[in-house]
Structure 1
Amino acid sequence: MTPVPGDNPTPRPAADAPGAPAPGTAQPAAAGGPLRTGRPKPWHVLWLLLLLGWTVSAADRSVTGPVVTWMIDNGVGFMAHADHPHALGGLIGGLFFAGYMLTQFPGGYLGDRYGHRTMVVVSLLWAGLATILTGFLGGLIAFIVVRVATGLGEGAFYSNDRTLITDNTPPKDRSFGMGVCISGLAIGITIATIFTPNFIDFGRSVLSDIEAWRMAFWVLGAATLVVSLAVTWFFRTHLKAATVGKAALHLGAYAVVSLALIMAVYLIGDSTGLSDLWIAVLEVALAVGLVLFVLVRKGEEVGPVLKDRDLFIIYLCNIAILWNLWFFSFWSVSIVAGAAHSSFAASALTAGFNAGAGIIGFPAGGWLSDYGLRRGWGRKEMMLTFTGVQAVLTVAFAWYLSAADHPSLWVMGLLLFFASLFFNALQPVGHALTAELARPDLRGSAFGMQNLIGETGAVLAPAVGGALRDSTGGWTAAVWLDAGLVVVGFVLLAQVRGRRAVSPV
């Protein structure tokens, strides 16, 4: 059998099969295997595929923020007559993440059952089709429905990506691999942030000025479909059409119920006159209810991923991490434009410093984490250090916005870059720590639960930030709130006992 990404050179049961040995963990020597000189190691090819998956899925989810900002600035689309446009735009972003968070645990659980490669393929195909569909819809409700549906499909990617890397990478390179792959998140956010003005300008050449925003979704959705087909081809020896179909239907069943619940909360809240912020809070309450439901229904199966003290603290820290990530990813263009009174294109380019830092920070943090582990350092201590530096720089950014009469694009760009550099570096360290703390047979469920709980920050951040912007007339209060949450995350992380793991071979 010809090796494919994630395989070992010698034939043996597929890594996705229940009970199969985990390449790079149970048999690290075999995972490396005697390869011919010049051929890439199989886990390196796997990293590349997952990096591409992260890139396109991140671009798909991030494009909404710049598009909404453009709609507000130009008074077009469903944002044209909104009484509180930033609050509504933030709610739209939050509803996407409500969908994204509600399939975090089911996605990991189904990956443990059907195979993690299978769920990665399902997630990418789903995201590409849904993103293209977004460009064909114009009404507010239809737009929200399809963005929520996009999030529901993308939610299955994270836990399966993290588990595939853990199972197929030698322990000494595990955190580095997680950092390399998730750097696609930064690449995707950077693409969506910087190039959305170009996509919209291209749309103006073939569509009307009012409809030009659609082109951003069509371009990025098409790119996602291309990547999903490439990943499907590389994973082909691990895939069975019947299993992919069953997995898609099973995920679809979760998605239909989740979509109905999310939209019911939105429509009831909107019809009763609740503010956009309170609707976002209710969506978070819905997610908390799902966690409790899962615990009651599958307590014996998933109890270890919820009742472990250290894991649960990491889940809570993830709320602050994902709040910071998606507050700046969604609103950074508007924050920079509002502070410096610059053009949409110049603001997008400056805001790109925040996203682009992850291209360096993610792999650098992963490499340093593995290097430190070989030197006998704990992953928790390294993650705490990076979080502390990020907290200081985020507070500095908030202070600068408050104190400067005419904030400089260069100063804002540099502060965003270095705060984001350490912020992105801490994430693969945390992912490797979660993998080490969780039981091997429940890693998919643990990563899914981590992101399910953490995504409450992603749901609330755009909505709360937008509401504060509308109520105060500026972004300073929202940025200070973000800085405060980063500090809280640092304090929580300090309570994790962690493990001083033995240096891997």
Structure 2
Amino acid sequence: MPPGTPDTPPPVTAPPSLSVETPGRRIKPWHSLWLLLLLGWTVSAADRAVTGPVVTWMIDNGVGFLAEADRPYALGGLIGGLFFAGYMLTQFPGGYLGDRYGHRTLVVVSLVWAGIATVVTGFVGGLVAFIVVRVVTGLGEGAYYSNDRTIISEATPERHRSLGMGVVITGLALGITIAIIFTPHFTDFGKIWLSDVDAWRMAFWILGTATLLVAGAIAWRFRAHLSARVVGRATLHLAAYSVVSLALIMAIYLLGTEAGLSDLWIAVLEVVLAVGVVLFALARKGEELGPVLKNRSLFLIYLSYIAVLWNLWFFSFWSVSIVAGAADSSFANAALTAGFNAGAGILGFPVGGWLSDYAVRRGWGRKPMLLSFTGVQAVLTVVFAWYLSAAEKPSLLIMGLLLFTASLFFNALQPIGHALTADIAPPRLRGSAFGMQNLIGETGAVLSPAIGGVLRDHTGSWTAAVWLDAGIIVAGFFLLIGVRDAPGGGKAA
């Protein structure tokens, strides 16, 4: 951790009354908290997911910095991977800083940061400037996940913990769906005010403004937990990590490009950087963070989330191109069909959370349901890959149904895994545990857009990339077999 860390008061946690059920009240205090955090996920996810559809639009229309690229899909995938390199590198610091300064503080800092950076993206020109601003956006957004998960764990009764996590992270599906489906409309609207070449900028301006509005609403709700002094220190501390991370990410990109390394190898080196961050944390904070870094079950969950984040951002980034290429459809129709993949989370996330809590109440534990859902998702993804391989001209309807069904189980399993992490990790280190889970898992998000793009350029289709995705999901299933459920199956003591 950087030297000179300021002395700060212990993080402010939710008042005990928030996690105590009040008989006779249908609307509980934590329900409005869930709604606000859901909105935070929605705008944050839209900000990060919009890059994929915009890149696809640039390639299809031959504009921007992708117009002259020799391998446009590989370069577009690398852009997505570099964003997630930034997002990944502040996962663990974001959770650690949340444990120190207050998780509500870091949620507000993350959203304001992401909103400003997304708006700025719409003003930049040139490949390197675009990459820098996207990486900066990811660095700010990386602090949201670990702190939002921890706030829910603190403010929600344990019997509803997984449901709360599922309801809130539904915003991820909403945001990705908005980015995928509405980007064609954002660009059409941009053509009214801008040239056809610059119409893509409107998508970033609209979504960035929405993020700032949501950040203001959440800051108002959390105002009793915020102080200008602590917010300022937390922002500076996160900025210190971010400056170093940005320098390392861009150094790898620029030196790799200068040395003639392929886009794939540059993405791999970014993952090596993430491994270095984990080792650094072990060396500097090994004793303090031992309970979340050296716990076997937690570490297997962390590793299994490489498959989760690989699948999530492979399809979120490239699903429009996959559908359009397979069915030879228009950009708008492909976006609508691909939206089934993201839209399934609107149902899958809360249902998975509810089922997880139900399993705990029945004494079954969370692990059996997590394994079952992962297994079903693996099978359905294999079926989707086979259909792309076997069908002469895949149907938009069948692709939409397969994407929706596989994504339904995929999204349902995520709040189960989050709740299992919260059950196993010590309460005082939950922010750090969630940060490490996403830090390791995000290596999948860094690699999947880049490797998918390279395979598309090399083979001329998306079939090989989808088969690879299916294989990685199967590997994640086998990792989860070794996880031990929390004592008592996750039941409150």
Task: Name the TM-score class by shorter chain.
Answer: over 0.9
Secondary structure in structure 1 of the residue aligned to 2:489 = coil
CA contact (8 A) 1:32 1:41 kept: no
2:280 is matched with 293
1:311-365 Cα offsets, whole Å, 9 max, x none, are 0000000000000000000000000000000000000000000000000000000
Partner-residue secondary structure (3-state), 1:172: helix
Q: Residue 460 of structure 1 aligns with which residue?
A: 447
| Whole-angstrom distance in 2 between the partners of 1:233 and 1:282 | 41
Map 1:476-491 to 2 at 5 A: 476-491=463-478
Q: CA deviation at 1:504?
A: 4.3
Equivalence map 1:201-350=2 (5 Å): 201-350=188-337
Instruction: Identify the match of residue 377 of structure 2 among 374, 377, 390.
Output: 390
Q: State how far apart, in whole Å, the 2-side matches of 1:17 and 1:134 are.
A: 35
Question: After alignment, is 287-296 or 29-38 more displaced?
Answer: 29-38
What is the RMSD computed on CA atoms of the aligned residues? 1.5
Aligned amino acid, residue 186 of structure 2: F
Structural mapping, 1:398-409, within 5 Å = 398-409=385-396
Which secondary structure state, in structure 2, belongs to the residue aligned with residue 298 of structure 1? helix
CA distance, structure 1, for counterparts of residue 328 and residue 440 of structure 2: 36
1:300 Cα offset (Å):
1.0
In the alignment, residue 259 of structure 2 is paired with which amino acid? Answer: T
Residue 436 (str. 1) matches residue 423 (str. 2): yes
2-side partners of 1:138 and 1:22: how far apart? 43
CA deviations on 1:392-422 (whole Å, 9 max, x unpaired) are 1000000000000010000000000000000
Local SS of the residue matching 1:82: coil
2:56 to 63, 69, 74: 69
Q: 1:33: how far off?
A: 5.4
Matched, 1:425 2:412: yes
Deviation of 1:32 after TM superposition, in Å, equals: 3.0
Q: Decide which of 101, 105, 109 is 2:92's aligned counterpart.
A: 105
CA distance in 2, matches of 1:119, 1:338: 40
Do 1:102 and 1:287's aligned partners in 2 also have CA atoms closer than 8 Å? yes
- 3-state SS of 1:355 partner: helix
Distance 2:13 2:395 in 1: 55
The answer on 1:32 being equivalent to 2:32 is: no
Counterpart CA distance in 2 for 1:20 and 1:134 is: 33
TM-aligned CA deviation for residue 476 of structure 1: 0.2
Q: Tell me how many residue pairs correspond in the alignment.
A: 485
The answer to whether structure 1 residue 471 and structure 2 residue 458 are counterparts is yes
The amino acid across from 1:398 in the alignment is: A
Aligned to 1:145: 132
Shift of 1:22: 5.9
- What residue in structure 2 maps to residue 116 of structure 1? 103
Q: Is the 8 A contact 1:87 1:467 kept in 2?
A: yes
What is the identity, as a one-letter code, of the residue corresponding to 2:385?
A
The AA in structure 1 aligned to 2:296 is: R
CA-to-partner distance for each residue in 1:44-83, whole Å, 9 max, x for gaps? Answer: 1110110000000000000000000000000000000000
State the match for 1:18 in structure 2. Answer: 10
C-alpha contact 1:375 1:503 (8 A) present in aligned 2: no
Deviation of residue 31 (structure 1)? Answer: 3.0
Q: Give the whole-Å Cα distance in 2 for the aligned partners of 1:135 and 1:464.
A: 26
Contact 1:123 1:156 in 2 (8 A): yes
Q: Is 1:501 the equivalent of 2:489?
A: yes
Q: Which amino acid aligns with 1:352?
A: G
Q: Counterparts of 1:446 and 1:173 in 2: how far apart (Å)?
A: 20
CA-to-partner distance for each residue in 1:6-61, whole Å, 9 max, x for gaps? xxxxxxxxxx97387765xxx6x7733548856x3211111011000000000000
- Using the TM superposition, give the Cα deviation of residue 138 of structure 1 relative to its aligned residue in structure 2, in angstroms: 1.6
State the match for 1:377 in structure 2: 364
Q: Which moved more, 1:371-380 or 1:173-182?
A: 371-380
Supply the distance in 1 between the matched residues of 2:402 and 2:244 (Cα, whole angstroms).
42
- Structure 1, unaligned stretches of length 5 or more? 1-15
How does the TM-score come out when normalised to structure 2? 0.96
* Residues 19/460 of structure 1: CA separation in 2 closer, same or farther (3 Å cut): closer
What is the one-letter code of the residue matched to 1:412? M
- What letter corresponds to residue 147 of structure 2 in structure 1? N
CA distance in 1, matches of 2:443, 2:267: 9
Counterpart amino acid of residue 432 in structure 2: S
Give the Å deviation of 1:185.
Answer: 0.1
What is the CA–CA distance in structure 1 between the aligned matches of 2:288 and 2:20, rounded to whole Å? 32
Partner of 1:53: 40
Cα pair distance change 1:230/1:402, threshold 3 Å = same
From the superposition, tell whether residues 361 and 17 of structure 1 become closer, same or farther in structure 2 (CA, over 3 Å). farther
* CA separation of 1:502 and 1:212: change in aligned 2, threshold 3 A: closer
Structure 1 pair 362–401 and aligned structure 2 pair: CA distance change class (3 A): same
Alignment partner for residue 403 of structure 2, among 416, 427, 443?
416
Matched AA of 1:230: A
Letter in structure 2 aligned against 1:431:
H
The answer for the alignment partner of 1:5 in structure 2 is none
Q: CA deviation at 1:497?
A: 1.7
Worse-superposed segment, 75-84 or 291-300: 291-300
- 2: CA distance, partners of 1:244 / 1:503: 35
Please name the residue that 2:355 is paired with.
Answer: 368
The superposition leaves residues 413-464 of structure 1 with CA deviations (integer Å, 9 ceiling, x where unpaired) of 0000000000000000000000011011100000000000000000000000
**Alpha-carbon distance in structure 1 between the residues aligned to 2:490 and 2:420:** 13
Mapped to 2, the partners of 1:282 and 1:198 lie a distance apart of 36
With the length of structure 1 as denominator, give the TM-score of the two structures. 0.94
Question: How far off is 1:294 after superposition?
Answer: 1.0
Distance 1:411 1:431 in 2: 31
CA spacing shift, 1:133–1:372, aligned 2, 3 Å: same
Partner amino acid, structure 1, of 2:19: A
Q: Is the 8 A contact 1:108 1:160 kept in 2?
A: yes
Q: Structure 1 residues 37, 383: CA separation in 2 closer, same or farther (over 3 Å shift)?
A: closer
Q: 1:89 matched to which residue of 2?
A: 76
In the superposition, relative to structure 1, how do residues 224 and 21 fare at CA in structure 2: closer, same or farther (>3 Å)? closer
For residue 372 of structure 1, report the CA deviation from its aligned partner: 1.0
Question: Could you tell me whether the CA contact under 8 Å between 1:127 and 1:154 is conserved in 2?
Answer: yes
